[in-house]
Chains A and B, each alone.
Chain A
């Protein structure tokens, strides 16, 4: 310790151990400030969990496990949220079924098919898609897309009514604002993120594997199946899960086009509701337990998305590490 405290005066004469200099105050302050900014991320996440659950506590305590029943009637003080959880799952699954094949297709197109000078414009287009704000998708969805697709729904429903499986999912009633419309709009919105993450993963496949496959006489499809896919499978699953997280939490577009009806039905063309949409639409006029219930839906949503994201990021990082050979 004594050598350190005497480092100041000794410095003029040339210190015996120059590397043991005490770092100047400004330097240490900067390090601490940077650390504080890093810790801010953890602090915010913990604060979100604590503060929102506190606000939601009266919902959890008064309803108990009844929060998972299908009975949402604020006028009668019933706050069972199953319909919203169901709607969130259904719309997110529709969005994934529509978006994942398209996204992986574009990712493969970008990495394996088109030359670099063509891939740039395609990436720009995907970026444009990502920049269109949620509320603009919603505005277009409810004023232009829903009235147009309503006729298609009605047509499909009249054809499949009574047909065993198809009638169960695509039968009447139909409405322009429905689970399926929300799923389609969400699919547009998650395509950019799934595409760009899949592309990153697929781009890490070693060129030597691909060339090896070609050298054995494989066609491009066989090369993709044999060399690219086994390598990038895990990462693509992670990308899909991140898309799922996005689709579950996307609020405004869903709030406008989902039809706002708290029902559980297998009919995908019928109006429904999901968790973010009900929060957005009803929070303004909510007080007491009603507000706590909506806050609680936010807590559930936060928990779901955190779990999905942790798993997804874990998968992506693990597959990236394996690729680096660590």
Chain B
């Protein structure tokens, strides 16, 4: 033992000095970076719940029209905005999800590695980065200038935002479907369309639904594409195809810049409603994924 102690010792298992402390510091910094993110998230959620919960009631969620900003919080409700959000997001979903799924089917089942499919896949990823306000301007120029403001115009803008997200998530799921399923089905004499519709898509349905729900959650919270496509009105407009409409996010945007207490309180209430909708969609998406994962093996 004495001989070894005389030599210059390097104990590999327990680094000492600066090596040890720099490693500690790095680990602490990593944990800190997570805490740094946790603080604003907790702060936002706490504020929204604390300020919004007292405003929310059945009358707030369904009543209308939305009162002028000067009136206190207990007058009227956000009914028109809730209705608008459900209608507009719903129509956008009905448009974007089937188109997105078919686009992903093209990319994975038909396109494969050909240059066109590669280009479409690449540009679809790039399209997820197009700012939402640009989608609003786009729909304003091709639709609103010719047909006027309507909930449908807003739905078009949201559908443009959702399309690449649905394509990407569906594509990832289709890639996971084992080729043996397709081959087995071809061996029974099925056509390619039949294989895709009755074998490949059902095998990936959990992941596709979950991806679509996340896209809906993202679209439901978007304000910028709605500003110049639906405007913001105070009365409920059940007809999405004509006339200006309103939605929760656009209403929050208007109320946030208002100096009146009543308007701000209504803004917090609407924010809590919106966050609740988005979180519920996300949790349902997670549950669907978890259920799907159980069937995989």
Contacts and interface: CB of A to CB of B under 8 A. Distances in A.
Given A105-B34, A143-B264, A136 B44 contact: yes
A136 B106 contact: no
Nearest to B126: A309
B253 A221 contact: no
A30 B160 contact: no
Q: Contact residue range for chain A?
A: 35 or more
B255 to A, nearest CB: 8
Contacts of A48: 130, 134-135, 138
A125 B38 contact: yes
Interface in B91-144: 99-100, 102-103, 105-107, 109-111, 116-117, 119-120, 122-127, 129-135, 137-138, 140-142
Dominant SS among interface residues on chain B = helix
A191 B37 contact: yes
A137 to B, nearest CB: 7
Contacts of B116: 38
Contacts of A45: 123, 126-127, 130
Contacts of A252: 223-224, 249, 253
Nearest to B286: A124
Given A34-B110, A52-B141, A101 B164 contact: no
A191 B192 CA distance: 42
Contacts of A30: 192-193, 196-197
B280 to A, nearest CB: 10
B30 A132 contact: no
B127 A188 contact: no
Interface of B: 10, 12, 15, 19-20, 22-23, 26-27, 29-34, 36-38, 40-41, 43-45, 47-48, 99-100, 102-103, 105-107, 109-111, 116-117, 119-120, 122-127, 129-135, 137-138, 140-142, 145, 160, 163-164, 167, 191-194, 196-197, 217-218, 220-224, 227-228, 249, 252-253, 255-257, 264, 267-268, 271, 274-275, 278-279, 282, 286
